[in-house]
Structure 1
Amino acid sequence: MPAGKRLPALNEIQFLELQSLVEHASGVILLPDRRAVIAARLARRLRHYQLATFADYLHLLTLPGQHAERQRVVELLVAKETYFFREHRHFEFLAHWLAEHPGPTRLWSAACASGEEAYSLAMVASEHAVNDNWRILASDMSPGMLGLAREGIYDIAQARYFPQGWLQRYCQCGVGEMAGRLQVQLALRERVSWRQINLIQALPDDLGVFDAILLRNLLSCFSQDDKQRVVQRLLARLRPGGLLLIGHSESIHGLGLPLRPILPSVFERLC
């Protein structure tokens, strides 16, 4: 699709093909009311391949050797809004919890996207943990997102909800060509381990057990069956008495899980 040309239509059958591809790869269900957004996000791929229609692009995805392009589609279409200290009440709660929880402490940002959640968690742990014996695992299914997260470079607008003084304490602000951007300081980046994990698949055997797991703003994209399976997998890696945090607008009601609500969207694993 040449630059400047009108965006081609994404019809219902083509949308359903994309929906099936994304759900199979990630468990995420694309909603029909997002069709226009989906078309806009994929327009750059049509331009990249100089294709005129979504039918041409969907055919390309079926060809041998296009695994990387199919993965790129999933990354483009499941990308979620993220910024530092999103849903800040979770971090306020964790600050108090860490202050009363002697280490060692293992924390898992299970759907970390481009890393803002994991670094927010690391800042809170640096400020409030009883001692320095804490570590964070951050995982995502997208290699591209994990690459961005490891670099720790973000637009300064992503820092609009930083507590006072934390931007200067934990980040370096860019100058010259990097003006308007920030980078998380190396000492903090080194406290986070990054790993590619697809939560709808079996988890790696060597993950170990965690004291708190954040799985926020992803469950609402899953079918009820996938939601059940994903949370059960995570609970198998959460110690009894450990915490599971989900998005404020999400629900795990009716799944019959061994969890006790502490606050809305914060749960404690029972024995």
Structure 2
Amino acid sequence: MTVTTNHPKPITRSEFAEISELLLRRTGIRLTPGKESLVMGRLDKRLRQLGLTSYREYLDLLARPEEPEIHQAIDLLTTNETFFFREPRHFDYLREEVLPAHPPNRPFRLWSAASSSGEEAYTAAMVLAEALPNAPWEVVGTDVSARVVASAQRGLYPIAAAERIPMPLLRRYCRKGREEYTGLMAVAPELRSRVTFVRANLMNNLEGLGRFDVIFLRNVMIYFGPETKIALLERLEAMLQPGGHLIVSLSETLKGVTSRLQLVEPSVYQRPADV
């Protein structure tokens, strides 16, 4: 009797280094040594689907000019873990400190700059809908992964995702799925219509998105090296309205990174009003 196994294809040190360099060049994300098992776990199934026997063959494929598989590789290698009302202190700050001080004559714009599957953007939208019921506002979500952007646009989530949403907001802005959507919940159309999702790479110039009053960029810069962080912060600062806020994860800090953004409280930074 022959027993077949599905162990991930082994990756050599040089293959891992080339994949790491490719991801760094394309997204700014740095895969450090020790992440080999992560790469194998995420790419092994794709290699099997393509009928490839090694990561060297996969790298040769990715090296072809204008090869669309590069987008698939980025989708698989980028981390997309998030949930509703993650780090709730940030949404309290948005509601209690930022929104009351916002000029009433200007639409409020918020950017979820690594929106993944959309939970952060929709959470912010719930806060804005409650705080600004009669004022114009907009949420923009961007992510490098086309797959998660498409998922966010649908606004469909496992019913378990509702556990972190306060009950009044859940009742007002979410719908329980029925029939073929049993086990799912959907973001209400009136909220979804105020949130736009776009595939975008933070390494590119994104000034075409316009200026924002608040930018959320949480759990992203931990993957970037110092030079990438500095260049990214310069671009983000230019996209903030004077007096606008950049919010990073509670586990992150800009300490040691050159920037004109000023610390307001842990993980919350502000562009000076006169810059």
Deviation at residue 102 of structure 1 after TM alignment: 4.4
Q: Distance in 2 between matches of 1:216 and 1:194?
A: 17
Q: Distance in 2 between matches of 1:212 and 1:150?
A: 21
**Residue 235 (1) aligns with residue 237 (2):** yes
In structure 2, do the counterparts of structure 1 residues 261 and 192 end up closer, same or farther at CA, with 3 Å as the change threshold?
Answer: same
Q: Distance in 2 between matches of 1:68 and 1:157?
A: 34
Give the SS at the match of 2:24.
helix
In structure 2, do the counterparts of structure 1 residues 256 and 37 end up closer, same or farther at CA, with 3 Å as the change threshold?
Answer: closer
Q: Distance in 2 between matches of 1:55 and 1:63?
A: 13
In structure 2, do the counterparts of structure 1 residues 187 and 46 end up closer, same or farther at CA, with 3 Å as the change threshold?
Answer: same
Aligned to 1:159: 162
Render the CA deviation track for 1:197-238: whole Å, top value 9, x for unaligned.
21112224x332211111111111111111011111011011
Q: What are structure 2's unaligned runs of at least 5 residues?
A: none
Q: Distance in 1 between matches of 2:23 and 2:35?
A: 14
Render the CA deviation track for 1:167-214: whole Å, top value 9, x for unaligned.
22111111233222111111111101222221112224x332211111
Instruction: Answer yes or no: is the 8 Å Cα contact 2:263–2:269 preserved in 1.
Output: yes
Aligned to 1:42: 43
Q: What are structure 1's unaligned runs of at least 5 residues?
A: none
Q: Distance in 1 between matches of 2:147 and 2:7?
A: 28
Coordinate RMSD, CA, aligned: 1.8
In structure 2, do the counterparts of structure 1 residues 154 and 130 end up closer, same or farther at CA, with 3 Å as the change threshold?
Answer: closer
Render the CA deviation track for 1:11-38: whole Å, top value 9, x for unaligned.
2111111101111110100122221121
Q: Once the two structures are aligned, what percentage of the paired residues are identical? A: 38
Q: Distance in 2 between matches of 1:64 and 1:209?
A: 34
**Residue 32 (1) aligns with residue 33 (2):** yes
Q: Distance in 1 between matches of 2:39 and 2:241?
A: 39
Aligned to 2:128: 125
Amino acid aligned to 1:264: P
Render the CA deviation track for 1:235-268: whole Å, top value 9, x for unaligned.
1011111111011111211223222211100011
Aligned to 2:223: 221
Q: 1:69-218 to 2 correspondence within 5 Å?
A: 69-96=69-96, 97-103=98-104, 104-129=107-132, 131-204=134-207, 206-218=208-220
Q: Distance in 2 between matches of 1:77 and 1:21?
A: 11
Q: Distance in 2 between matches of 1:88 and 1:239?
A: 23
In structure 2, do the counterparts of structure 1 residues 247 and 43 end up closer, same or farther at CA, with 3 Å as the change threshold?
Answer: same
Q: Distance in 2 between matches of 1:79 and 1:158?
A: 18
Amino acid aligned to 2:91: F
Amino acid aligned to 1:245: I
Give the SS at the match of 1:235.
helix
TM-score, with length taken from structure 1: 0.92
In structure 2, do the counterparts of structure 1 residues 207 and 61 end up closer, same or farther at CA, with 3 Å as the change threshold?
Answer: closer
Alignment length (residue pairs): 267
Give the SS at the match of 2:206.
coil
Instruction: Answer yes or no: is the 8 Å Cα contact 2:144–2:199 preserved in 1.
Output: yes
Between 255-264 and 239-248, the greater mean CA deviation after superposition: 255-264
Render the CA deviation track for 1:58-86: whole Å, top value 9, x for unaligned.
23222355x22111111111123111111
Amino acid aligned to 1:257: S
TM-score, with length taken from structure 2: 0.91
Between 123-132 and 236-245, the greater mean CA deviation after superposition: 123-132
Instruction: Answer yes or no: is the 8 Å Cα contact 1:102–1:130 preserved in 2.
Output: no
Amino acid aligned to 1:70: I
Give the SS at the match of 1:201.
coil
